[in-house]
Amino acid sequence: MAGTAVLGRLTWQVATVVDVVAETPRVKTIAFDVPGWRGHRAGQHVDVRLTAEDGYQAQRSYSIASAPDRSRVELTVVRIDDGEVSPYLADELQPGDQIELRGPVGGYFVWEPSQGGPLLLVAGGSGVAPLMAMIRVRVAAGSSTETRLLSSSRSWDDIIYRDELERLNGDGLTVVHTLTVSQPLGWTGYVRRVDVAMLAEVGPNPAERPRVYVCGPTPFVEAVAEALVQLGHDPRGIKTERFGPTGG
Q: Which uninterrupted H or E stretch holds 197?
A: helix 196-202
Please, what is the minimum distance in Å from the beta carbon of residue 241 to other proteins? Answer: 6
Considering the complex, state which of residue 155 and residue 218 has its C-beta at the smaller distance from other proteins: 218
Q: Half-sphere exposure of 219 toward its Cβ, with a 13 Å CA cutoff?
A: 4
9, 35, 81, 142: residue in contact with other proteins (rule CB under 8 A): 9
Q: Name which position in 18, 33, 88, 237 contacts other proteins (CB under 8 A).
A: 88
Choose, by CB under 8 A, the member of 35, 36, 57, 81 that binds other proteins: 57
The answer to the question of residue 222 lying near other proteins (CB under 8 A) is yes
**Is residue 47 close enough to count as binding other proteins by CB under 8 A?**
yes
Based on CB atoms, which residue is closest to other proteins, 91 or 208?
91
Closer Cβ to other proteins, 50 or 231, answer by number: 50
- Spell out a b/e string for 115-146, using b for 16 or more CB atoms within 10 Å of the CB, else e: eebbbbbbbbbbbbbbbbbbbbbbeeeebebb
**Rg from Cα positions in the chain:** 18
Residue 242 binds other proteins, judged by CB under 8 A: yes
Residue 23: HSE in the Cβ half-sphere, 13 Å Cα cutoff: 26
Closer by beta carbon to other proteins, 6 or else 185: 6
Shortest Cβ distance from residue 196 to other proteins (Å)? Answer: 18
Residue 71 binds other proteins, judged by CB under 8 A: no
Work out which of 27, 31, 46, 165 binds other proteins, going by CB under 8 A. Answer: 46
Q: Compute the least distance from the CB of residue 133 to other proteins, in Å.
A: 14
Closest residue by Cα to residue 134 from 29, 224, 215: 215
Nearest 5°: CA angle at 223, between 238 and 60? 75
What is the spatial distance between Cα 79 and Cα 88, in angstroms, rounded to a whole number? 8
Selected range binding other proteins among 27-35, 103-111, 151-159, 192-200, rule: CB under 8 A: 103-111
- Phi and psi for 101 in degrees, rounded to 5? -140, 160
Report how far Cα 12 is from the mean position of its chain's Cα atoms. Answer: 22
Asked if 196 contacts 232 with a C-beta cutoff of 8 angstroms, the reply is no
**For binding to other proteins (CB under 8 A), which residues are involved?**
1, 4-10, 12, 14, 44-47, 49-54, 56-58, 61, 82-84, 88, 92, 97-100, 102-103, 105-109, 217-219, 222, 239-245
